[in-house]
Amino acid sequence: MSIGGEKALLLAVMRNEGPYIIEWMAHHFALGIDDLLVFSNFCTDNTDKILDRIEEIWPHRVKHQPNPKVMFPKQGKWLIMALRFAGHFGRYQSAPWVYTTDPDEFLNFTGDIETFDDFFARTGDADVVSFTSIAFNSGGHKHAKDELVSKMYTQTAADLETAAAENREVLTAVKTLYRNKVQGARRPHRPVTHDFSDQGFKWINGSGQTMPPEFTDSAYKAIASNGTRDYAQINHYSIKSAEEFILKVDRGDGGQNDRVGESARYWNTANRQGNIDTRGVGLSAAAREIYDFLMADAKLKALYDECLELRHTRFTEIMATENGQELGRITGYYD
């Protein structure tokens, strides 16, 4: 797979994402991603070991490294440090296309569009594409399950249908695919190129619309959610079930585990009731083939199974604490 015959590299950082890696990787490789460069840090659920094993299986497609920030804990942010470090890798330098996203984000195309090539066949050629990210809520799930994330969560965390009917703008974040030759600082949501409109490149959104200089020549990382997703959107499964959110808080995301109030605000925002959205449910035939191939590896499957056990053990430990019990009440885990 590729984009117009040119290699596309996916860049990501991970910490304790073990249950989701194989599904997420299979999904994006089926879209046309050729290469994964991933940086991890302080993993306790086999995430690093799972990535190492996949690299052993597919060394030409996967490169796993420690995040450089582990050596410089007081310098920079995790993803920014990884982005800077990535530029020193030959596989990054030689990739004509780069896409940076997180392991809880799944890029999905609409209708009969299945690959990046199909997408560009609809939109026409472009050099940069900012895809609108749509948050999905917990769907009322309390417990982590050994099921595909993309099948479990099908309700958005904002009522975008009502917003569209009322002609009300709802801004959401983007993640961006871009040609590596585009100049400017690499950032988690997009490249920042203050003279982009003078460089002769074309920047579009998920509906194929050309983005204005007010966006392209700025550092803005959000666009209107309605009208920008005709052909593609990102499904952002930021909280998943109550159990998985509590594990996420313990990991150090979605608020800190000693700041229950912040975590409550995060949960309450991300778990609002929106609309049923079934685009991207489950794996495509191409993604399923990749998923089954990886899961057929005995060593990888053993690491995956152990990952689920490690997370269950850790969750039990968390729920024996005062903070864990408070998070259980906040998320409705005990209801």
pLDDT at residue 261 is higher than 80: no
Average pLDDT of the segment spanning 210-235: 98
Give yes or no for a contact between 286 and 31, defined as CB atoms under 8 angstroms apart. Answer: no
Write down the pLDDT at residue 257.
43
Closest CA to 236 of 330, 153, 301: 153
Residue 258 predicted with pLDDT over 60? no
Count the domains in the chain.
1
Q: How many residues does the chain have?
A: 335
| CB 16, CB 40: distance < 8 Å | no
Determine the average pLDDT of the residues in 68-94. 92
Please indicate, yes or no, if residue 125 is contained in any of the structural domains: yes
Q: Alpha-carbon distance 129 to 293, whole Å?
A: 30
Residue 172 lies inside a defined structural domain of this protein:
yes
Q: Is 128 a member of any domain?
A: yes
Reply yes or no on whether the pLDDT at 259 is more than 70: no
Q: What span, in angstroms and rounded, lies between the C-alpha atoms of 91 and 97?
A: 11
Residue 277 is assigned to a structural domain of this protein: no
Residue 278 lies in a domain: no
The parent domain of residue 172 ranges over: 8-271+283-330
Residue 77 lies in a domain: yes
pTM for the whole structure: 0.96
User: Looking at the domain assignment, is residue 291 inside a domain?
Assistant: yes
Q: How far is 316 from 34, CA to CA, in rounded Å?
A: 38
Query: Of 72-76, 143-147, 161-165, 169-173, which gets the smallest average pLDDT?
Result: 72-76
DSSP structure class, residue 212:
P
Q: pLDDT band at 256, cuts 50/70/90? A: very low
Whole-angstrom distance, CA of residue 166 vs CA of residue 244: 34
Average pLDDT over residues 302-329: 98
- Does 229 reside within a domain? yes
| Closest C-alpha to 279, from 113, 56, 48 | 113
139 versus 257: the higher-pLDDT residue is: 139
CA angle 84/88/1 to nearest 5° reads 95
pLDDT band per the 50, 70, 90 thresholds, residue 280: very high
